[in-house]
Amino acid sequence: MSRLPFDEPKVPKVPKVPKVPEVPEVPVAEVLRAVAPARTILTVSELNATIRDLLENELQNVWVEGEISNARVWNTGHMYFTLKDGASQIKAVMFRSAVRYLKFKPEDGLKVVARGKISVYDPKGEYQILCEHMEPKGLGSLQQAFEQLKKKLAAEGLFDPARKRPLPALPRRIGLVTSIDGAALRDMVRVLRRRYPNAHLVISATRVQGEGAGREVAHAIRKVARIEAVDVIIVARGGGSLEDLWAFNEEVLARAIVASPVPVISGVGHETDFTICDFVADLRAPTPSAAAELVVGRKDEFFKNIDRISGRLDAAIHHRVRRMETRLHVLESRPGYAGFEGRIAVRGRHVSELAGALRQRISQGFARRARRHELLRRSLDQFDPRHRLAAVRTRLVSRDGQLTAAVRRRLSVAGTRLGTLAARIDGLSPLAVLGRGYSVTWDASRTRIIRDASTLTPGDGVSVTLERGTFDATVTKTGS
Amino acid sequence: MADSKTDPTIKDFEAAIAELEGIVKKLEEGDLALEKSLELYERGVQLSRFCHSRLEEAERRIEIVNERGELKPAPASLRLPDDEDES
């Protein structure tokens, strides 16, 4: 910076200086003549002060385009960097007051357009551009800022699906963070009323656009999250330009969502708008109304679902009880149970009666036929005994055959029924039932099953059969 | 109803639904002892009642949080048009 580039095109703007052809020196001389009487000798300080006045007056508001390099922010909050192009560079500074309005983070290599004024630092004879505003070249600065924050938060893992919390099925209270007079709030209230008429809504009103809106939305989220029984929060805003939606791209808001103790649904803008808020929220809804649809199921469907499950519960227990009853009946049919023997006896009697009846019929049939035979024989004897006798005999034999077949069939049916019954009983082990905790209580001699406590008196001995083993016991008390 | 609302053994609506579904599945599949079956059934009925009461217990209400974090009724403008909307 030792050589001041005063031979630049700015020079002609300096107050008119008479040419001094006999002194073809460096242009510095010309400048000196312009501002001071000829041959006045300046101190270095005076020279630099003069230069400062010139530059700072002439270059108060310049736009410059270049690439950022050596950018660093000091702990004062001021940012120092260099702007350069392919052939040249200039020192640059941006004070904290301007830095905080930047919508993007100036990084090395970033091409920017900056507006500022030239400032000269007398003690070192250096100059720099003091930037008041800067925007990325190419991408709009908002877009740039969006991409940068998105990258940063993604790197922190804040968009990880694993971080997303499930929504409660039935939130006790629903927090709505939005503008009190926006269409978004009205839309959400309408949808929620329709789906779940007795929903309890808690509105946390906030500005949703303009300078500082991000901070306010963040504050509104924290406020409503502290309300008791608020189980889920919707952060919503209607559609708008990228600038309108800017609050939802601010880091402070993203951090508030991450810190929320309950899940947050983002319903910002339209279907096609994506904000940082969308990425960091536990669930993204395309619009405020859609967010309201997602936050709670339809009340009637809840009821339907519970009734369906309850119906299955009832059916299952009834089935269970019926099966148990069947098993009890089977148990009663076991040998050793009085009921069984009776039933078998009934069946046995039935079969034997059937067989007896058949036998009786057969013999009756024979007797009848014998009688008829006798009658015929007598009449035949009277008329033409041989031929007629032969004919009658044939018919008799045939009839007998038919009768025997019928008896055999009926006996066989009865036998099959008996066999089936026996097979069924053998297939059912009493242990299967005892295995479920049932026991059989016998009298002390194990000849009779105790079915009625009133048949016992304290002091009686009983014997109990369990799934595994038996034991004897003494009755100490009876009850009904 | 009142006791099922405050039942300390039921965490919340989701937990109740999940437990109820588990019970139904067990009853439908399992060859449980009768006593255990009845026990589960009773618990199931209790859970089902809890869910019903939870669905009805929320109050139809819109409130707004003020700066001090207190709940106040929301402006009437937010409630009335909406109530008329519903048919």
**Which residues in chain B are contacts of A204 at CB distance < 8 A?**
64-65
Mean pLDDT throughout A182-204?
Answer: 90
- Report yes or no: A453 and A469 within 8 Å, Cβ to Cβ: no
- Report yes or no: A93 and A80 within 8 Å, Cβ to Cβ: yes
Tell me the pLDDT band of A128, cut-offs 50, 70 and 90: very high
Tell me the pLDDT band of A144, cut-offs 50, 70 and 90: confident
Q: What is the pLDDT of residue A81?
A: 95
Tell me the pLDDT band of A316, cut-offs 50, 70 and 90: confident
**Which residues in chain B are contacts of A321 at CB distance < 8 A?**
34
* Higher local confidence (pLDDT), A175 or B41: A175
The total of other beta-carbon atoms located within 10 Å of residue A54's CB is 22
A253-272: per-residue pLDDT in tens? 999 999 999 999 999 988 77
Please report, for residues A369, A402, A404, the alpha-carbon distance to residue A397 in angstroms, rounded to integers and kept in the order given: 11, 9, 11
Q: What is the pLDDT of residue A199?
A: 86
Q: Where are the beta strands (DSSP E) in A207-329?
A: 230-237, 264-268, 283-284
Q: What is the pLDDT of residue A107?
A: 82
What pTM value is reported for the model?
Answer: 0.52
Q: Where are the beta strands (DSSP E) in A62-124?
A: 62-73, 79-84, 89-94, 111-121
Using a CB–CB cut-off of 8 Å, the residues of B that contact A are 12-14, 17, 20-21, 23-24, 27-28, 32-35, 37-38, 41, 44-45, 48, 51-52, 54-56, 58-65, 69, 71, 74-75, 78, 81-83, 85-86
* Facing B14 at nearest CB: one of A169, A196, A220: A169
Tell me the pLDDT band of A11, cut-offs 50, 70 and 90: very low
ipTM of model: 0.77
Which residue of chain B has the CA closest to A303?
A: B52
**Which residues in chain B are contacts of A289 at CB distance < 8 A?**
none
- Asked if A196 has any chain B CB less than 8 Å from its own CB, the reply is yes
**Which residues in chain B are contacts of A201 at CB distance < 8 A?**
61-63, 74
Provide the token pair at A337: 């149970």
Q: Do β-strands A470-474 and A89-94 pair in parallel, antiparallel, or remain unpaired? A: unpaired
Q: What is the pLDDT of residue A373?
A: 57
* Facing B13 at nearest CB: one of A170, A180, A299: A170
Q: What is the pLDDT of residue A254?
A: 95
Q: Is A150 helix (H, G, I), strand (E, B) or coil?
A: helix
Task: State yes or no: pLDDT of A401 exceeds 50.
Answer: yes
Cα(A295)–Cα(A194) distance, integer angstroms: 13
Encoded amino acid at A210, one letter: G
Encoded amino acid at A39, one letter: R
- Asked if A193 has any chain B CB less than 8 Å from its own CB, the reply is yes
Cα(B48)–Cα(B40) distance, integer angstroms: 12
Q: Do β-strands A230-237 and A200-205 pair in parallel, antiparallel, or remain unpaired? A: unpaired
Task: State yes or no: pLDDT of A130 exceeds 90.
Answer: yes
Provide the token pair at B29: 């599949």
Provide the token pair at A393: 């005999």
| Widest distance between CA atoms in chain A | 190
Which stretches of chain B score pLDDT less than 70? 1-6, 58, 79-87
Task: State yes or no: pLDDT of A44 exceeds 60.
Answer: yes
Cα(A190)–Cα(A287) distance, integer angstroms: 14
Highest mean pLDDT among A145-149, A274-278, A316-320, A462-466: A274-278
Provide the token pair at A184: 């978004």
Q: Lowest-confidence range among A112-121, A140-149, B44-53? A: A140-149
Cα(B47)–Cα(A312) distance, integer angstroms: 14
Residue A335 phi, psi dihedral angles, 5° rounding: -60, 145
- Asked if A340 has any chain B CB less than 8 Å from its own CB, the reply is no
Highest mean pLDDT among A316-320, A353-357, B45-49: B45-49
- Asked if A197 has any chain B CB less than 8 Å from its own CB, the reply is yes
